[in-house]
Amino acid sequence: MIYNIPYIAVAALILIGLYAVVFKRNLIKMVIGITLIESGVNLFLITLGYREGSIAPIYTSSPGGIMALPVPQALTLTSIVIGVAVLALMLSLVIHIYRHYGTLDARKIGGNEE
């Protein structure tokens, strides 16, 4: 059970994030939802590469013993960097939307008429 806690956290983060994106009307809350999903996925990747009692995967003067798998960590780093770029872009779009419409309520923005 104790080993499953990270996976439960992953599921919880992703579900809460999806809930926020689907049901919340405030654009900032939607952005937060996406960030939560991203954290969930990143946590999942990190958890995959970790073994109990393992050390950082640095070969130079290593004390021996098991090492954590470095590939998922590299993937997570890349994913975090991309996530920051997406987050910045989304927030800048939210700023522009607020300037145009004066509100962040998704129901009052847009519409089909030109």
Q: How far is the CB of 18 from other proteins (least distance, A)?
A: 8
DSSP-derived secondary structure for the chain: -GGGHHHHHHHHHHHHHHHHHHH--BHHHHHHHHHHHHHHHHHHHHHHH--TT-B----TT---S-B--HHHHHHHHHHHHHHHHHHHHHHHHHHHHHHHHS--BGGGS--S--
Q: Which is nearer to other proteins, 58 or 85 (CB)?
A: 85
The contact set with other proteins (CB under 8 A) reads 14, 21, 27, 30, 34, 37-38, 41, 44-45, 48, 71-72, 75, 78-79, 82, 85-86, 89-90, 93-94, 96-97, 100-101, 109-110, 114
Q: How far is the CB of 37 from other proteins (least distance, A)?
A: 5
Q: How far is the CB of 4 from other proteins (least distance, A)?
A: 14
Q: Which is nearer to other proteins, 62 or 92 (CB)?
A: 92
